[in-house]
Amino acid sequence: MIPAISLPTNITVTTHITVASASKTHRHKRPLNSTVKSLARSGKLDEALGIIVSSSKSATTETDLEAYTLFLHACISGKSFEHGQRLYLHLLLSRDKGNHDLIKNPILKSKFITLYSVCGQIHEAQRVFQDGLEDGHVPASVWVAMAIGFSKNGYSKEVLYLYCGMLSQYVQPDNFAFSVALKACTVLFDLCAGKAVHAQLIKSTEEPDQVVNNALLRLYAECGSFDEVSRIFEEMPQRNIVSWNSLIAGYICRKQVFESLGAFRRMQGERMGFSWVTLTTVLSICSQATALNSGKEIHAQILKSTRKPDVLVLNSLMDMYAKCGAIDYCRIVFGGIESKDLTSWNSMLTGYAVNGCIQDAMGIFNKMVESGIRPDEVTFIALLSGCSHAGRTDEGQRLFNNMWKHYGVSPTVEHYACLVDMLGRAGRIKEALEVVQIMPMRPSGSIWGSLLNSCRLYGNVPLGEVIAEQLFELEPSNPGNYVMLSNIYANARMWDNVKLVRETMERRGIKKEAGCSWIQIKGRTHTFVAGGGFEFRNSAEYKKVWNELVDAMEEIGYVPRTEVVLHDVSEETKAIWVCGHSERLATVFALIHSASGTPIRITKNLRVCVDCHIWMKIVSRVTGRMIVLRDTNRFHHFKEGNCSCKDYW
DNA sequence: ATAGGGTTAG
């Protein structure tokens, strides 16, 4: 709990001054009540307070209560802590003089608590709440006001303590109390406590309203109990947009992007409409799934809607286009935003950086600074990672050194990760290690990970082994790290060690993620798994296109680079395996099913392998198609036999 | 009075 604060003792002085100055200016032509009310309504808090204070010689009555409530209401909407406190002190004085004790009044009390909470003065709110708590019954509304105060100020644990305290005092929680408690459980990611509150709710006589049900949905969605989500959703007497949003978010938590898009369509089918929250949620799904068509559909819906789109929605739209590799659309949306905020600039910058347009990224950064927007840590992560991917090591290093000096942004562990990645990728592993040694925080898994990747790129087996050990300790169940180490061994033809790594993985029950690629064609998403898709591969149309490609490639002199296969099998088998990589299946499928001349956009769940990278370049040349491949790491734009990454990846 | 959202790293 937050410690309670003792009452200040020097309260009389300010009160007297107020009384003196205020009573001069106002005579009570009208009854106190209506005068105070109209002043409070028009925001003249000083004058209203003056009248309250000067008229208090007589005992405060029930009619004054309404005026005080209105006055406090005005303070809350104006977030005026000072006026509220002056009224509070006035009531304290009046109580000490033996007048009726209005501070005990639950309505006023919860108003004071709310006011202090919205002003961020949570200690003051708590003091008001605790004053007189032990004297007798405190109604639920006061507890709830305090709970909301804690909740809005980020004290979720305290909300739960308070909820328990409420129960221990035999105060029946109402729907307000339930929803705040459930929200606190969600924030704390505490499914256990959430279930306890849910149980209380079932036992209570209170019929859960829509808000409570939505809070329950959110709790289970966020904690991954999806069976509960769908059960509650189906059983709810009525659903609104918020309920649907939670259902969609629930699918995202399970990484079921296609199902969540389906839920959005169902929502539209039921004529539920959408809010800007729905749009940002769904757009973020589109960017995760590289579902450019769906994303464009939503863009169209935004344009059709009569409301002017929110900056937040436009920022999400930019992110979607950037993550789909459609940087031109991203730029157009950016250009159309009237009041660009920091996120708009950062999204444009990130879009350029991940798509390999480092000059554009630098250009937009300069413009941003010129327009007086202060860059933040996200800005520099985007820039540094962009430099890293583009091999602009010196430029990136300079940026890193200047970010604090010129822009006042101090480097975090993520920025150090970019710097280490940048140096390692450029083959300057010694310098990268020096950075790890001098950086003021503990190196994260991602830092060791990028060092391991550098060892892979430059064939440094002994250092790779040392780093892998560190990494296995930090992230014991991340399959990528094991695969990376066995890659290093395979490149060095150390097949015994490759086998050893594979056995370790089996022993620890770690499975390598199967390579998987997907593309969206005419609104439908098609998924391909490495080594799978036999039906497709046996079809006549596949064979026709595949053979054409093989012929064209042989002419150019393409030979499969089989070292990417980590199993010790014959060269022939390796070649067959490589050709069954998921991104190739997806490419052939796209060549068959999309109009010639249109770009092909493929997404992959792993990093693209060296051989597929070569293959893609050639395909882009012989077919004249542009291929945009997004892997876990970055974008590759293949065009006329070249890749935007300039083979630096 | 109570429930819902976006940008960053290997």
Beta strands A627-630 and A600-604, pairing class: parallel
The integer distance in angstroms from the CA atom of A447 to the C1' atom of B8 is: 15
Residues 524-553 of A with CB under 7 A from strand B: none
The total number of residues shown for chain A amounts to: 649
A102-157 pLDDT, tens digit per residue, is 778 888 889 999 999 988 889 989 999 998 787 778 889 999 999 999 999 989 99
Residue A468 pLDDT exceeds 60? yes
Question: Is A251 in contact with A259 (CB distance < 8 Å)?
Answer: yes
Strand B lies under 7 A from the Cβ of residue A40: no
In this structure, what token pair is assigned to residue A77? Answer: 């909407």
User: How far apart are the C-alpha atoms of A648 and A370, rounded to whole Å?
Assistant: 31
Length A272 CA → B7 C1' (Å) = 28
> Is the C-beta atom of A242 closer than 7 angstroms to strand B?
yes
| Contacting residues for A176 by C-beta, under 8 A, at least 6 apart | A140, A141, A144, A148
pLDDT of residue A566: 64
In the predicted structure, residue A33 carries a pLDDT above the cut 80: no
Task: Convert the pLDDT of each residue in A81-92 to its tens digit.
Answer: 888 888 888 877
A214, pLDDT greater than 60: yes
What is the CATH class of A424-507?
mainly alpha
Which amino acid would we find at residue A444?
S
Report domain extents, chain A. Answer: 1-135, 424-507, 516-643
What's the confidence (pLDDT) of residue A196?
A: 94
The DSSP letter of residue A171 is P
User: Does the reported pTM lie above 0.75?
Assistant: yes
Each residue's pLDDT tens digit, A569-611: 777 777 777 778 888 899 999 999 989 888 899 999 888 888 8
Task: From residues 449-468 of A, list those within 7 angstroms of strand B by Cβ.
Answer: 449-450, 453
- Strand order across the beta sheet in which A627-630 lies: A524-529, A516-521, A600-604, A627-630, A635-639, A642-643
Residue listed under structure tokens 């004249």: A624
